[in-house]
A and B are shown apart, each in its own frame.
Chain A
Amino acid sequence: MSSFNGKVVARSSRRIGGANNLAPRAQWAALPRTWVSLNQVRIARATAFMEIALTLTGLALSLFMLMHLGLLFSILLGRTSMDALARFLERYFLLQIGASFLVLFLVMHVMLVMRKVPTTLTRQWAMLRHMRAMKHWDTWTWAFQGVSGIALLVLVAIHIWVVLTDLPVQSAKSGERVFQIYLWFYIPLVVLVESHLNVGLYRAAAKWHVLSRRLAHPILLVFTGMVLGLGVAILVTFYRVGASLS
């Protein structure tokens, strides 16, 4: 028994026994270089999986949102094209299947991200004080992801409920909904979804170093502009459809 990283641990004898007949260099390679408990290894492996899964669920949700935006783009081509597309999706239950995957990935993403958020008041206070003192852009983007994530959880749940309890999807129904009180619901939803998505993609790219930050900043700005512009254009079109019907 020995201690490593403040924990009492046992050394694995299996690998040591096997190493005795090997050449010196191979013997060294076969020896465990660190003193760890089996639990620690398991936790380390689970943590690695969680880190990968967090990025993958985030990517899956981003792809879903872009696909959603692509499908809604049909309203810009006219009401008939959107209605035809909605009929096609409903004929093969693609809406329900899509919504199920969305909820599944959403729940997974929230659960995976929870371990990264300070949970006690003392830690939250320390983090807030740190952020206010540092005035550092990327530290604030992390806080934005947390706050917008909580808001989105509520907004997206309401949106899914409202749409799935009022099937079939029709441009007239959507237009009326946006023209009425739901406009003030959809404006923050669109802005928060698109911002959360873009900032999330940027942070994932920086975290895994897929892109350098110098390159990621302009791409983030252009992409956010495009996606937000498209979202606003779709919202305005729905509003006009609703206005023409009422």
Chain B
Amino acid sequence: MPNRKLTFRVFRHNPYDPQSAPRVQKYEMQETPRLTLYGALTRIREEQDPSLQFDFVCRSAICGSCAMLVNGRPRLACRTLIEQLPSRINLFPLPFFRLVGDLSVDTGTWFREMGQRVESWIHDSEPFDPDALEERMPNDTAQTIYELDRCIECGCCVAACGAAQVNPTYLGAVGMLRIARFLTDPRDDRADSDFFEVVGTEDGVFGCIGLLACEDYCPKGISLTTQIAYLRRKMALTSLRSSSNGKGASAGAQHAEKAKTAK
């Protein structure tokens, strides 16, 4: 197996160069044991073509920079073993995000905008007291929040999502994961009804067409479909409640309930 001759067909294009046209370039190399895709790309850049652009930082599936389409499927180059792939490997940049060049895309701008859209920070009305002891939280809640915070923002879930391919304003599984994270957090004052306008739309949880690929291609194995289903149930319930009492459940009452459940 490690003696195969590998053929890489890599997407090449520099959108900042007016002379550049999108094309596919072929590279060949001999397979070596325990070679990762990141290793292979580094070898191509060092030995064959120093102009090849691709992103990497940590090389251990923590930074999420090296996500790309490997034979049509989103993966992290650093945790993809070549021995698990066929000898012909097609590499394309992640769709949906702005192309920087070749296999490099700008996920940061989209993630920042998404963070602003879902107001991805703790909303607390109490003035911050740096000398006060931190409010205690049950271990189970802390563990749940930690689990939801494991996302490395690589963009694989968005690239794997069919709804995102046809709706550029779609929030994506990662946006919904972020909302689920703040809904779970007892320190956040926002209630279900506060999130409803952001996530209870066709750009949010009701735009999801249930292809379940986000979870299947998440390199960190986060249960994204479970979180989307959790939000879908919560938002559906919020819409029913708000129509039954005319204005929606009081945010304060919901927060009190959330804090009580957490304690």
A interface residues with partner B (beta carbon < 8 Å): 5-6, 24-30, 32-34, 36, 40-41, 43-45, 47-52, 115-116, 118, 123, 126-127, 130-136, 138-139, 142, 203, 206-209, 213
| Closest partner residue, chain A, to B72 (CB atom) | A133
| Closest partner residue, chain A, to B90 (CB atom) | A133
| Closest partner residue, chain B, to A51 (CB atom) | B206
For residue A25, which residues in chain B have a CB less than 8 angstroms away from its CB?
Answer: 125-126, 189, 252
Q: How far is the CB of B89 from chain A (nearest CB, A)?
A: 14
For residue B242, which residues in chain A have a CB less than 8 angstroms away from its CB?
Answer: 45
Q: Are A30 and B125 in contact (CB under 8 A)?
A: no
Number of A-B contacts (CB under 8 A): 131
Q: Are B73 and A206 in contact (CB under 8 A)?
A: no
Task: Please measure, in the bound complex, the distance between the C-alpha atom of A31 and the C-alpha atom of B165, giving whole angstroms.
Answer: 35
Q: Are B251 and A30 in contact (CB under 8 A)?
A: yes
Q: How far is the CB of A59 from chain B (nearest CB, A)?
A: 14
A-B contact pairs, 23 of them (CB 8 A): A5-B117, A28-B189, A29-B250, A30-B252, A33-B123, A33-B194, A34-B197, A41-B196, A41-B197, A44-B201, A45-B200, A45-B243, A47-B206, A48-B206, A49-B243, A52-B240, A130-B162, A133-B73, A135-B72, A138-B213, A203-B210, A206-B210, A213-B225
A33 and B119 contact, Cβ closer than 8 Å, known pairs A6-B169, A123-B166, A142-B162: yes
Q: Are B126 and A24 in contact (CB under 8 A)?
A: yes
Is B226 among interface residues, defined by CB-CB distance under 8 A?
yes
B interface residues with partner A (beta carbon < 8 Å): 69, 72-73, 95, 117, 119, 123, 125-126, 160, 162, 165-166, 169, 189-191, 194-198, 200-203, 206, 208-213, 216-217, 225-226, 229-230, 232-233, 235-236, 238-240, 242-243, 250-252, 255
| Closest partner residue, chain B, to A40 (CB atom) | B197
Q: How far is the CB of B132 from chain A (nearest CB, A)?
A: 16
Task: Please measure, in the bound complex, the distance between the C-alpha atom of A6 and the C-alpha atom of B200, giving whole angstroms.
Answer: 16
